[in-house]
Homo-oligomer: A and B are copies of this chain.
Amino acid sequence: MLRISKLTDYGTMILVHLAVHQGRLHSASDVAAGTRLALPTVQKLLKLLARSDLVRSVRGAEGGYVLARGPGSISAADILDVLEGPLSITECSTSDSRCELEDGCPVGGAWQKINRGIRGALGEITLADLAHPPREFPLVDLSGRTGRIRQRIPTS
């Protein structure tokens, strides 16, 4: 349940790799070697990531990829948006395929609130956290209303 795809997991590994070895360009081959992922998969994911504003690319010989922003300003929600698309927790609540049952369905609204809560939570977890997981993740409000951090245990 609530599964993220393998590709998203791989993509996150790649981002973590870029975060840990910052300051220089990395070719797809480098990243594949560093993460032990298959090269074609890494190429595909880096292309995807480069199209977003998370990763920048330089073409040509001696080219490669870098993080476009600091690991502290890339959230798990950002990553999921890029790699899984702007999907919602329920099929019903996507923009185009709105559920024909939605009127009579009391549940849709609740799922959407839960979804917003989870997204809010993921928005507070940064790539830096993922690269060096803190013992505690921040407290998060599922209401989607006040949606604020209550407490954060210092990283490291």
Contacts and interface: CB of A to CB of B under 8 A. Distances in A.
Contacts of A140: 117, 121, 139-142
A43 interface: no
A70 interface: no
Interface in A117-142: 117-118, 121-122, 125, 129-133, 135-142
Interface string A63-100: 00000000000001000110011111111100000000
Interface of A: 1-6, 8-9, 12-13, 16, 35-37, 76, 80-81, 84-92, 101, 104-111, 113-115, 117-118, 121-122, 125, 129-133, 135-146, 150, 153
Give the 9 A-B CB pairs with smallest separation, nearest first: A1-B84, A136-B143, A137-B142, A110-B133, A1-B80, A1-B87, A110-B130, A6-B91, A137-B143
